[in-house]
Amino acid sequence: MQNNDNYTKPPRLADWLLKRFAPAGTLEEVQGDLLELYHYWIETDGLQAARQRYTWTVLRLLRPFSRKNLPETNQYHSSHSFYTGMIKNSFNIALRNFAKNKSYALINLSGLTLGLTVSMFIFLFVRNELSYDEYLPGYDHVVRIQPTVTSRNGEQTWATSEGFLVPTVTSLYPEVEAATRILRNDNEVEFKIGSKQFSELGAIAVDSSFFKVFPFPFIYGDRNTALDKPDGVVISGEVSRRLFGDVDPVGEIIMKDGAAVVITGVFEDVPDNSHFNFKIVVPLKSFWPDVDQSRNMYAFYSYVRVKSAAQVKPLSEKLLNDWYAIYGYLDEKGVPDPPESFKTELGLMPLSAIHLTSKAEKEFGVNGSLQVVYIFIGVACLILIIVVINYVNLSNAMALKRSREVAIRKTIGASRGKLFLNFILESYGFSLLAFALSFVMMMLLMPFFNTLTGKQFDIHVLLNYQTLVPAFVLWIALGFLSGFYPAIILSSFNPMQVLKSGIGTSKSGVVSLLLRRGLLVFQFTISALLIVAAFAIQHQMDFIETMNIGLNKDNVVIVPVKGDVYQKREALKNEMNKLKGVERSTYASVAPGKRVVFLTVRIPDLAGSRSGNDDGTRDMRVMAVDHDFIKTLQLEVIEGRDFSIDNPSDIQSAFLLNEAAVKEFNLDDPIGKPFEYRFGEPKTGHIIGVVRDFNFASVHTKVEPLMLHILPWYSTLCIRLNTDASSESIENIEEVWKSISSSPFDYYFLDASYDALYKAEKTTSQLITYLTILALAFACLGLFGVVSFFIEYRTREVGIRKVFGASVFSLLQELSKEYMLVVIAGNIFALYPAWFLVNQWLQKFAYRVELSVLPFIVAFLVSVVLAYCSILRVVIKTARINPAVILKNE
């Protein structure tokens, strides 16, 4: 019966508690004593009271946190893991292991350090790219209006928008807190302080609400009123320090274009991670009085600050719906009456997204590329994976060497948990060392990194929490990842087996063999992938550099026209042409490689060729040039004729088209067709010739339709040198410039400006090349480490084979077979991903190479040869071993 049971057995729960938590050394007698007392209590106090008393006594006996063990039972109990003597001992053993396996430990440490350095650098770069325009408070309330115009010519998104939009949008929508236009001055601004002449790049004209939309902190002056004065000017801290030193310049008078302007404020410099940059800010109204009515959509950047970030999306929907009202396309009754031929969608681009995602026409500066950021992140991950694999592989290999140590420790009484903890802490300590070293390395390599990426990183970025926190997280993850598997394997060794045979259990052997091979294969997959990518990208970059872009960009010096030169341009050109090193020169509205304007023309023959009310009006790229443009840049006229001095009417009525235009507009027999220019002062005339397509923009896009005509709308002088450009000819050109103008002289080479178009690709290409070398080196190091470790276990086999007559050569084959298979498998696995990724990358070029088998063959050969070389030394050493020496030991 249940009750009878209760007389002999105390409460179960209390008994369980006692067993679980009572001090182990005293459990037996305590249980005995309590049982005895229980029976005594039943007799004296009754069952119920006895049970209560028993439970109560047990509860009060439990002292889980202060276990005191009796000396008698102490001898089989290990001491606490964090006992200082134990820590010291662990340290000693770790150091001794390090010293014993110096080369492997160094491979491991340097690999980890390099890998970390590289990936942390990449992390810095990516963080910088992602942090664009996020430095001002409330940056997420700011958007840029980007109209997308859909017309007969297709769709075009602009970074600029019409001048009247800002006042209209501000008055229509109450959620708009402030809005401003920015008119950028691409030329140098010249001004005088006292009698000294200065010129500065980077001036903008803005609305008085500019500093409400972009609340840059002010060093001097009042942000709220700085732009209220029509003759005021605000300058950046850097300009202020350069011109005035460390004093407050507010109130200083400077002379600009013969008028006096007063400095009203100094703002803190625009940080590097901005999509725009400017140093001088002037009020727009005094510069362009009727700006509020302006329908010019190519001049202004419009930025709007809304009251809360949540209003951005609703506002963008409103703009899409109301565009015809904003533009005034309403009939007398106020009913929408949008034009048929085109429509304008007013898009809103968040400020912080401009740098990486906006691909609009006429961007403020050169934007970054989201693709490059993704490539960087991907590559950083690959490098980290390789490094971790190396670490796991080598630690795993070293672990086998430590099996005897583990066995002895276990025999002495180390528990599995404590061994695990010991090894994982060792791994953490090791990676901490690698982290410290990589921080040192980053400090040393910072200048190199800055030149590579074109950014300005300071050593201090390494020490702020935004770097340290991720580094800490990475450390935690890395220590765990790299220490976990070896720790599990090591702590699982069966001491009996290890001490008997000198090696761990066969079961863990198979698992670790598979894991090791798998990881090696994976490493070589990554290396092969990177080699293919590096070669293909290099191939494409070579192709871009050497492809026939239709003009000869070598030996051309571009001199921007500024100041008073415009009036004296004929004299300047004549003087230049007289110079010994100069072959020819030409004026143009824009240098090739820079943005060419998009203007309206009309080709009467095309009238009616499109649906709707088509009068033959088209938009196309237009360059204003002079008579020597074709000859100077060595363009080819494939039909008709070039502009000619002998034909004075060419200035008024001659137009040249490129092949792309002829094709786009379907003009058969274009020569002599009437043509009209519809911008500014319209011109009418005829098409006199067709030039072969030349890439006036980057090769990311196909050559667009282009028209050339003669118009003195010049911003640059292009000078072809007849010898290789020497510094002497540049000096001569400068002298001529100085003899004619007082403006500062400036120049660049045309081929250099073309190269700048591919900066993102160049960076990618360089990065991939460096990282390929690194990844391959890591993979080979890892292979070397693993091979040299495991080949020791085959020396007996080699000895026996030799006794039976195996030659050194056949042994070489036998020993390296396993690892060569690993490399080959890695290459095979890399085939598809490499093909896919490289093709993806090539898609963004309109002119591109076809992906051939060559990079794959190269990747295969390079990795096989390098892998073989890296293991050759150990393998030869083993194969040449004297069998008598090894077999003697048995």
Partner 1 sequence: MRKTFLGEFEEIVLLAVAVLDAGAYGVSVTLEIEKQTGRSVGFNTVHTTLQRLEEKGFLSSKMGGATAERGGRRKRFFRLTAAGGKALKEVKDIRMQFWEALPPKAMYLSGR
- Alpha-carbon span 139 to 136, nearest angstrom: 6
The residue type of 663 is K
Q: What share of the chain is helix, strand, coil (3-state, %, to 5)?
A: 55, 15, 30
Report the residue number, 74 or 567, with the smaller CB distance to partner 1.
74
Sign of the CA dihedral with 839 first, then 841, 844, and 846 last: negative
> In the set 16, 40, 374, 472, which binds partner 1 (CB under 8 A)?
40
Residue 41 CB, nearest distance to partner 1 (Å)?
Answer: 10
Find the helix or strand (DSSP H, E) in which 601 lies. Answer: strand 598-602
Q: Minimum CB separation from partner 1 for residue 48, in Å? A: 17
Q: Which CB sits closer to partner 1, 28 or 186?
A: 28
DSSP annotation of 64:
T
Cβ at position 82, least distance to partner 1 in Å: 23
Query: Residues 1, 3, 4, 29: which binds partner 1 (CB under 8 A)?
Result: 29
What minimum distance in Å lies between the beta carbon of 39 and partner 1?
A: 8
Q: How many residues bind partner 1 (CB under 8 A)?
A: 19
Cβ proximity to partner 1, 36 vs 735, nearer residue: 36
- Report the alpha-carbon distance of residue 864 to residue 780 in Å, rounded: 10
Site string for partner 1, 412-451 (x = CB under 8 A): ----------------------------------------
Q: What gap in Å lies between CA 616 and CA 676, rounded to an integer?
A: 10
Nearer to partner 1, 70 or 366 (CB): 70
**Residue 36 lies near partner 1 (rule: CB under 8 A):** yes
14 belongs to the binding site for partner 1 (CB under 8 A): no
How far is the C-alpha of 781 from the C-alpha of 107, rounded, in Å? 7
| Residue among 28 and 636 whose Cβ is closer to partner 1 | 28
CA dihedral 531, 532, 533, 534 (to 10 degrees): 50
Q: Is 255 in the site for partner 1 (CB under 8 A)?
A: no
Length of the chain: 890
Q: Name the residue nearer to partner 1 (CB basis): 13 or 330.
A: 13
Question: In the complex with partner 1, which residue's Cβ is closer, 29 or 257?
Answer: 29
Whichever of 27 and 94 has its CB closer to partner 1, that residue is 27
Rank residues 72 and 332 by Cβ distance to partner 1 and give the closer one.
72
Give min distance, CB of 28 to partner 1, in A.
Answer: 5
**What is the smallest separation between the CB atom of 69 and partner 1, expressed in angstroms?**
10
Q: Does 290 bind partner 1 (CB under 8 A)?
A: no
d(CA 432, CA 478): 10
Select the residue interacting with partner 1 from 13, 33, 440, 752 (CB under 8 A): 33
Contacts 24+ apart (CB under 8 A), 65-74: 67/23, 67/24, 68/23, 69/23, 69/24, 69/25, 70/25, 70/26, 72/25, 73/24, 73/25, 74/25
- The span of 22-30, 375-383, 803-811, 828-836 binding partner 1 (CB under 8 A) equals 22-30
The DSSP letter of residue 278 is -
Cα Rg for the chain, rounded, in angstroms? Answer: 39
| Residues contacting 864, CB < 8 A, separation 6+ | 820, 823, 824, 827
Q: Which residues pair with 155 in a beta bridge?
A: 150
Considering the rule CB under 8 A, would residue 17 count as an interface residue with partner 1? Answer: no
The CB-of-36 to partner 1 minimum distance in angstroms stands at 5
The site string for partner 1 over 740-769 (x = CB under 8 A, - otherwise) reads ------------------------------
In whole angstroms, the minimum distance from the beta carbon of 61 to partner 1 comes to 4
User: In this structure, is the dihedral angle defined by the CA atoms of residues 739, 740, 744 and 746, taken in order, positive or negative?
Assistant: negative
d(CA 236, CA 749): 30
Among 11, 17, 26, 747, binds partner 1 (CB under 8 A): 26
From 31-39, 238-246, 427-435, 678-686, give the range in contact with partner 1 by CB under 8 A: 31-39
20 binds partner 1 (CB under 8 A): no
- Residue 721: name the closest of 560, 559, 570 by CA: 559
Using CB under 8 A as the binding rule, whether residue 18 contacts partner 1 is answered as: no
Residue 68 or 80 with smaller CB distance to partner 1: 68
Token duo for residue 589: 């509205």
35 binds partner 1 (CB under 8 A): yes
Cα–Cα distance for residue pair 686/667, rounded to 1 Å: 13
Q: Of 865, 859, 870, nearest to 780 (Cα)?
A: 870
Q: Position of tokens 């401009």?
A: 354
* 731: contact with partner 1 by CB under 8 A: no
Q: Copy the structure tokens of residue 25.
A: 């050394």
Q: Is 52 in the site for partner 1 (CB under 8 A)?
A: no
Site membership for partner 1, residue 890 (CB under 8 A):
no
389-414 per-residue burial string, b: 16 or more CB within 10 A, e: under 16: bbbbbbbbbbbbebbbbbbebbeeeb
Q: Least distance in Å: CB of 53 to partner 1?
A: 9
Nearer to partner 1, 70 or 330 (CB): 70
Q: Which is closer to partner 1, CB of 36 or CB of 222?
A: 36
Give the residue, chosen from 17, 37, 760, 872, that forms a contact with partner 1 under the rule CB under 8 A: 37
Q: Which three-class secondary structure string do you get for 607-671?
A: CCCCCCCCCCEEEEEEEEECCCHHHHHCCCEEEECCCCCCCCCHHHHEEEEEHHHHHHCCCCCCC
Chain centre distance of CA 230: 42
Please choose, from the candidates 742, 727, 624, 748, the residue with its C-alpha nearest in 3D space to the C-alpha of residue 681. Answer: 624
Nearer CB in complex with partner 1: 36/317 = 36
Residue 452 sits in the site that holds partner 1 (CB under 8 A)? no
Query: If binding is defined by CB under 8 A, does position 294 make contact with partner 1?
Result: no
In terms of CB distance, is 31 or 151 closer to partner 1? 31
CB nearer to partner 1: give 57 or 523. 57
Does 248 bind partner 1 (CB under 8 A)? Our answer is no
Among 13, 28, 308, 604, binds partner 1 (CB under 8 A): 28
Q: Scan residues 53-92 and list those touching partner 1 (CB under 8 A).
A: 57, 60-61, 63, 68, 70, 72
User: Contact 509/814 with Cβ under 8 angstroms?
Assistant: no
Q: Residue 80 Cβ, how far from partner 1 at the closest point, in Å? A: 18
Which positions lie near partner 1, rule CB under 8 A?
Answer: 26, 28-37, 40, 57, 60-61, 63, 68, 70, 72
